[in-house]
Every structure is written in structure tokens, then in C-alpha cells.
Structure 1
Amino acid sequence: MKPSGAPPTAVTKPLLRVTQGSSSDDPEHASRDLNTPSRVSSLRVERTLRLLAGFGALRRDQLESFLLSDATLTSGSRRVVTHRTLGELRERGLIQEVALPGRPSRASRGYALTEAGHRLYAARDAAYPRRRIRPAPSVVLLDHAAALAEIAIAFRDAALAARDIALLWECDWEAVARIGSTAAIPDAFVTLERGGWLARAFVEADRSTEWYSAFGNKVRRYVELYRADAWRAALATWPLVLTVTTSDAHARSLARVAERV
């Protein structure tokens, strides 16, 4: 952590923002016209596209949490609003329902952008990676996306509970835009500010599914990024590299791999 005279700012519009005591969307990022009349809030429709582009896929309950965390609605009303928003986007062919690994129940199915949805979002965000434009994400990517969203929700909820923490959560391409290098591409980049002190971290979501050698290569890419010095123009100090995994035992195993790099 380091002293800071101003709250964290993003070089692009952050995927998730918490100002002290409240979660907030960015109204100027919303489009009032998505080419066809809408039965639901255009801001909410645009926000849903943004979230699905940023995370890759979300469960219905995760999307509801992001969209309506500040809304004074009953749980039933929140579900109705979320289903209407999803229905609107499905009718337009912009999102698809996908099966998440290990979740056979329909209630736990996820949602991802269709190829048309990717292209529509890419037209609004010049930094959006063209590699993400695909008909459907793989099973591995779906599982990883849901896990990353859980980490983001945990950060947001902790910041809201503290009431004196400002938080920015930026997705992978936003992190690349910030640091100006693709030597290492994190899953996300989080900035926390509290009482004039600032902390930043590259976030990696680990589902205990990749080989230790792959994790070691990832650590080496971070070392290469650090040595290249491109990040210094945007960040005064090197951020933490925070890997969130499935168990304490696996975390210790990954730590041993990192120590050997």
C-alpha cells in the first residue's frame, strides 16, 4: 500500500466500481438506443452486455447481484427484472444460455454473449479483444468465468461492508490498457483506496485444473513484465499478484511452484 492523494481512477471505464459505501454503475456508458425498442431499462441492458463481455459468462444469480445490488426490491422482484433483461437480450440474439460445469440444474445455468453480442459490444469498446469474438465459450472458460465473478463479488461486498473503501475492478483487456504491455495478461486488476492509502493487485482465478508447469509459466510472464519496466509509467509501485484458488492445500502447492521460478 502507498499514500495517495486521490481516489483510484481507471484508464477505461471499470467493469465494477465501488465508491465509499455504495456500488455504482457508469450511466454515461449506457446507450439509449440498441437499435430496437426495449421493454426494460436500456442502461440495464447495456450493463448486462458489459458484464458478460468482461467476465465471459455469468450465472443468473451473479448477474442479478451485479445489476441490482443497490436496488430496493424484494428477491422475487430482482429475479423478475433479471429474467426480463436476459429475455430481452436473447430475443435480440445477443446472448445465449450455456451449461456450466458440474451444475445440472436449469437454475444454475449461465449466460454468455453470442457472436452477434460480441460484435455489438466490440463496436462500442475499441479495446475489446477480437479473440473473444467466438460462437460459444468452452467448458473450461465457463467455469473460470463463474469463479472470477465470485471473486469480484467478494471484493465488492467486502468494500461495501467496510463503507470507507473505494474499489475499481478492471477486466483483462482494461489491465492491458493500463499497464501498456501484454507480457502478462491477468484475469483482472483491482484497485483499493482507503484513507489515502492505495493497494493494487493483479488477480488470477485458479480452478485447480491447470498443470503446475502452466502456473509456473504464468509466474515467469509476471517476472518478465516486472523486468520490462513498461508498467512503471502507469503504476508507481509494482502491484501484488493475487491468485485465488480452491483450497488452502492447493494454494500452498502453487506457492511452492512460484518460489521455484
Structure 2
Amino acid sequence: MLRVTQGSSSDSAEDASGDLNTPSRVSSLRVERTLRLLAGFGALRRDQLESFLLTDATLTSGSRRVVTHRTLGELRERGLIQEVALPGRPSRASRGYALTEAGHRLYAARDAAYPRRRIRPAPSVVLLDHAAALAEIAIAFRDAALAARDIALLWECDWEAVARIGSTAAIPDAFVTLERGGWLARAFVEADRSTEWYSAFGNKVRRYVELYRADEWRAALATWPLVLTVTTSDAHARSLARVAERVARAEGGTRIARAFRCTSLDE
């Protein structure tokens, strides 16, 4: 989904699988990447999409907005994306974009791993809020890797993570791999909007313990990754950390309990 190579000043998308058949007024690769980003995150604000598409472009802010709007306009004309209202954001400038049912079906035809459950006319309000939060986490990881210049980063979306580990016992929001000087770190990523009960979060922790015990992941991963939950505040992160510690230790023991980390983008 997202990749940063060591020494790079920009992120990159995986190679597109071919151009869309309809003639385009904008870069076909940019159109392809927009479809993939919206499929991967579920929805994006315009500024988030601009950040992903034009990381290293030597353009003014005005030109970047024009390029992004042209790309979005191209896809809207084809009936592949729709404009959606993000929760708590009355400003039109803060509206987001998501795939239409036709857009989902087109992407699913090009990616056999794409889950059919994603194919729906419009995303829910909860999904939209969660998608925007997950994108912010991805951008934070991407920006940190670019700033360091010696970190390679691979960000995989939920269905890519499932395909990698070979199990649906726990379905993470994303899976991130960081490499620096031969040192490798991996983490399942969860975006938490402080909207679910602690009991629901505890059940999520139990599913990760179930995945850990099932052992399917060992064929793809040499060691168990961290389970990183990124939430809305440091205080809520500490509360979630206490829940994760208690549940994971009770269900799976000390070793798996140590893998759970909770933080916020403020830290």
C-alpha cells in the first residue's frame, strides 16, 4: 500500500497493474494509485490524498490542490468515487472521498485479495471517522521514515495483512514493517477513536492472543510483532494499555502481554 525506501525523499506505490481503459486527462498512474489508496483506507480527506499522491512533487500548494482535484474529478466523472461528509466536519473543505459500489467492484476485479465485504454503496459514519484516523497514522509513520532517510517502511492494509499471516482470527487495521541498518520491527496497527467500550477492546486483545496461539503466523513471520494501538489522547492510551496488559496476561501469559503497546499521535 505504502512504501518508503532507505534514502528516499518520497513514498511510492506498488506498480500499477495496468491503465484504466477509459482515456484520461490526468496521469493514469495517479488515477490507479488513488483507487488503491481509497480501497486500502476506506475513505480519505482531500488533504490526506494530496499528501499521499504528491509527497515529492515540486509544486506550489495551489498547484498540488489543482492536480488532486483533477484526479478526483476524473474518477467522479467515471462514477468510481463519491464525496462523503466526515463526522464532526461541517466545512466542505474537510469532506472526504470514498469508492462507489462501481469503484469497489472495479478494484476487486483487479485485486483478487480485496474482500467482498468492502463492496457497498456508501461507507458508514463510523467507518469514515476511523478511515481518516488510520490515514493520519500512516502519514505519521511515512513522514517519520522520510525524515530519518535511513528507514525502509512498508505499510500494508488489513486484507494485505490477512493474506500475509494466513489467518482471520484477528484482522488488524494495518501491518507496518520498519527496517533500519539490518534491524527489523513489525507491528499490527489498530486505530482507536475512543468510541468503543473497554470490554470491546478487551475482546480485540483476546483475538490477538488467539492468533498468537494458533501459530499460522509463524510461516510468514519469524517473530511475533508488536500490537500497536494508536488512540486520541495519552490518557486514553494509558487506560487501553492497562486493559491490554490485564487481558493478554490472563489469556496468554507474560510473553504475549509484552507485545501490546498503546500510544497517541501526540506522543
* TM-score, normalised with respect to structure 1: 0.92
SS of aligned partner of 1:242 = strand
Q: Is the 8 A contact 2:9 2:149 kept in 1?
A: no
Deviation, 1:32, is 4.6
Q: Find the counterpart in structure 2 of residue 40 from structure 1.
A: 26
**More displaced 10-residue stretch of structure 1: 22-31 or 116-125:** 22-31
Cα shift readout 1:111-161 (whole Å, capped 9, x = no counterpart): 000000000000000000000000000000000000000000000000000
SS of aligned partner of 1:156 = helix
Cα shift readout 1:26-81 (whole Å, capped 9, x = no counterpart): 67732553121100000000000000000000000000000000111111111000
* Structure 1 residue ranges without an equivalent (≥5): 1-14
**More displaced 10-residue stretch of structure 1: 24-33 or 82-91:** 24-33
C-alpha spacing 1:64/1:27, structure 2 compared with 1 (3 Å): closer
C-alpha spacing 1:168/1:221, structure 2 compared with 1 (3 Å): same
The number of equivalent residue pairs is 247
Q: Is the 8 A contact 2:19 2:32 kept in 1?
A: no
Structure with greater contact order relative to length (CA < 8 Å, sep ≥ 6): 1
Distance 1:248 1:206 in 2: 12
C-alpha spacing 1:260/1:186, structure 2 compared with 1 (3 Å): same
C-alpha spacing 1:158/1:27, structure 2 compared with 1 (3 Å): closer
Q: Is the 8 A contact 2:11 2:55 kept in 1?
A: no
C-alpha spacing 1:104/1:60, structure 2 compared with 1 (3 Å): same
Cα shift readout 1:204-242 (whole Å, capped 9, x = no counterpart): 000000111110000000000000011001000000000
C-alpha spacing 1:148/1:27, structure 2 compared with 1 (3 Å): closer
Identity of aligned residues (%): 97
CA-atom RMSD, angstroms? Answer: 1.2
Q: Is the 8 A contact 2:10 2:55 kept in 1?
A: no
Distance 1:146 1:183 in 2: 25
Distance 2:157 2:89 in 1: 25
**More displaced 10-residue stretch of structure 1: 99-108 or 249-258:** 249-258
Distance 2:118 2:43 in 1: 12
Q: Find the counterpart in structure 1 of residue 222 from structure 2.
A: 236
* TM-score, normalised with respect to structure 2: 0.90
Q: Is the 8 A contact 2:5 2:11 kept in 1?
A: no
Distance 1:179 1:216 in 2: 22
SS of aligned partner of 1:31 = coil
**More displaced 10-residue stretch of structure 1: 45-54 or 20-29:** 20-29
Matches within 5 A, 1:1-261: 15-22=1-8, 29-261=15-247
C-alpha spacing 1:224/1:27, structure 2 compared with 1 (3 Å): closer
C-alpha spacing 1:85/1:195, structure 2 compared with 1 (3 Å): same
Distance 2:108 2:161 in 1: 17
C-alpha spacing 1:121/1:70, structure 2 compared with 1 (3 Å): same
C-alpha spacing 1:168/1:147, structure 2 compared with 1 (3 Å): same
Distance 2:245 2:171 in 1: 20
SS of aligned partner of 2:126 = helix
Q: Is the 8 A contact 1:17 1:23 kept in 2?
A: no
Q: Is the 8 A contact 1:30 1:42 kept in 2?
A: no
Distance 1:109 1:249 in 2: 29
* Structure 2 residue ranges without an equivalent (≥5): 248-267
Q: Is the 8 A contact 1:189 1:201 kept in 2?
A: yes
Distance 1:188 1:28 in 2: 16
Q: Is the 8 A contact 1:27 1:43 kept in 2?
A: no
Q: Is the 8 A contact 1:22 1:70 kept in 2?
A: no
